Amino acid sequence: MLTYLLRRLARLAPTLLLISAVVFILLRLVPGDPATVLAGQDASPEIVAGIRARLGLDQPVLVQYAVYLKNVLRGDLGQSIRSKQPVLEELAGRLPATLLLGFTSIALAFVLGLALGMTAAVRAGRWPDVALLVFALLGVSAPSFWLGLLLVLLFAVQLGLLPVAGSDSWAHLVLPVATLMPNSLAVFARLSRSTLLEVLGEDFIRTAVAKGARRTQVLWRHAMRNALIPPVTVAGLEFGRLFGGVIAVETIFAWPGAGKALVDAIATRDYPMVQGIVLALALLFALLNLAVATGRVGLGILAVLALVAAIGPSLTLDPYAQDLARALEGPSRGHWLGTDQLGRDTLARLVAGSRLSLLIGVGATLFGLVLGGSAGVVSGYAGGRLDGAFTRIVDMLLTFPGVLIALMVVAVAGTGVTNVLLAVGLRAVPVFGRVARASTLVARERDSVTAARALGASPARILVRHIAPTLINSIVVLAALQVATAILVGATLSFLGVGVPPETPEWGAMLNTGRRYMLQHGQLIVYPGVAIMLTILGINLFGDGLRLALDPRRTRGVLLEL
């Protein structure tokens, strides 16, 4: 065991080195100059040049990276350009707050998820099981940043029970944790339910019952011991996925953690701070990973959404038309869902947002599928050094939370629909690459492939005729569920202000704008949040049903969490 752990730890070094190089180069491609940010827009060229020389930014990129790497190996992550404090000191103050928020959310989600999953499994088919199914689907469909706004509106503004911002007491932790927890709780609940149902059907359980073991003894001593393995394994991966929500949640609640610091550092071109946070989080996630009839309903929701996206814009008002005299009005005959702060029709903007969200979701997924899937198939079939290099790159990319990859890309490429689609699509590339590679490794050992190879068939023919058809089931289901993730990531970018332009009718951008007026006009955040949740709910239901249709042997109700 010790040898295994040491070998896995040794493999982290090249991965972290590659991550540091990628982040370092990406930051240098980001438009804008830290020296200009520090000096101010009115500073003379001489002052800017002096600051660049002091920061070492006048040197070639490779020289800068060599100096940075040498300092990192000595434990020096540099000095924050904005605060003038050592990055290690900034991390020491910021990272514990993020870890407290993340681990508290994961721990509560794990415990409550196991309890709910066990209850649902024991009462399978009855109302607790149905209630869990509904809760789990809502939990994985509701965007965390939208849920956070609703909790602020209810418990802080309307009821005045909990503080909105800060971290001075445990009371400040309640709303951020309540915002982050539901998604992970739903994952753990459904995973533990499906695993426990599978274990309860095993022969050794029937043997224990036949020997007269009590029900509680069978459940706790025999079933739960085996059913705990998948949830524990997923916990480390779930924490990494949780960080995508942490960034938005820390922004909403002004939580002094690494996620908010990362967004601020990217905005101010604080290179050392961004590099330090990304490196620290990558190391943390890598260490954690070492440890550890629905389809028809979904299809119906997706059909309605597609219909709205296709013909809705022609039936509603212009989503860009402004009427300041009617700004922030409530529902009326002329504006069924009211207007926003510029007097634009809310319904028209929601309908236009459906088309844009589907464009981002489907387009980004297709981009990730074509690029990642093709590379994964070729890598899995070729093997050797090519496969080793591909695996290392995919492992490195999967170390990053998906939102972080997208944030880095839009920081380099800029805002806009096309750049958001590209950023979200790049996030999906390693996911499709890993699944396609794993499926290809299995498929290439089949008798049909061996026979085709013996008959002299070319690699291209083998890939197209014999291997690709075996991947369809897994790739199609994964693609269906990745559309939901792509829509959510795209909305998160816009909510953070780095996605589409604020005036664009996109659901995340509408939430970002609406939160400024939500105290008096809460409907501005309710409508786009419900739109996101229903869309993701429909896609998850459809993906769940599609998987059951393609492989009916799978336990009903298990979500593919990739």
Whether 479 is in a domain gets the answer yes
Residue 437 in this model has a pLDDT that exceeds 80: yes
Please check whether residues 259 and 322 belong to one and the same domain: no
27 and 146 fall within a common domain = no
pLDDT at residue 80 tops 60: yes
Q: Is pLDDT of 422 > 90?
A: yes
pTM above 0.75, yes or no: no
* Domain final residue pick, 24, 50, 73: 73
User: Is the pLDDT score of 54 beyond 50?
Assistant: yes
Residue 299 within any structural domain of the chain = no
Do 226 and 362 have their domain in common? no
3-state secondary structure 459-503: HHHHHHHHHHHHHHHHHHHHHHHHHHHHHHHHHHHHHCCCCCCCC
Residues 38 and 171 in one domain: no
Residue ending a domain, choose from 73, 96, 124: 73
Read off the pLDDT of residues 494-534 as tens digits, 9 standing for 90 and up. 999 989 998 999 999 999 999 999 988 888 999 999 999 88
**Rounded mean pLDDT, 228-246:** 72
What is the average per-residue pLDDT within 480-496? 90
* Closest C-alpha among 310, 320, 374, 362 to residue 481: 362
Q: Domains in the chain: how many in total?
A: 3
Give the Cα separation of 360 and 427 in Å (integer): 13
pLDDT band at 403 (very low <50, low <70, confident <90, very high): confident
239 within 8 A of 41, measured Cβ to Cβ? no
Q: What is the CATH number of the domain that holds 148?
A: 1.10.3720.10
| Residues 347 and 493 grouped into a single domain | yes
Same domain, 285 and 173: yes
Structural domain includes residue 81: no
Same domain? For 400 and 540 the reply is yes
For residue 2, pLDDT beyond 70:
no
- Domain boundary (47, 73, 99) is at 73
Over residues 105-164, the pLDDT tens digits come to 988 998 898 888 888 888 877 888 888 878 877 887 888 889 999 999 999 988 899 998
Whether residue 95 lies inside any domain: the answer is yes
Q: Is residue 305 included in any domain, yes or no?
A: no
Q: Assess whether pLDDT exceeds 90 at residue 4.
A: no
Residues 115 and 63 reside in one and the same domain:
no
Is 298 domain-assigned?
no
Range name among 72-86, 234-248, 393-407 with the lowest pLDDT average:
234-248
Average pLDDT over residues 18-27: 82
Are 275 and 319 part of one and the same domain? no
* 82 part of a folded domain: no
Q: Note whether 319 and 283 are same-domain residues.
A: no
Rounded average pLDDT over 284-299: 61
Query: Is there a contact between 404 and 243 (Cβ–Cβ < 8 Å)?
Result: yes
Residue 162 within a domain: yes
Q: Reduced to 3 states, what is the DSSP secondary structure of residue 339? A: strand
104 and 248 part of one domain = yes
- Provide mean pLDDT across the span 81-90: 86
- If asked whether residues 67 and 92 sit together in one domain, one would say no
Q: How many residues does the chain have?
A: 562
For residue 408, what are the domain limits? Answer: 312-550
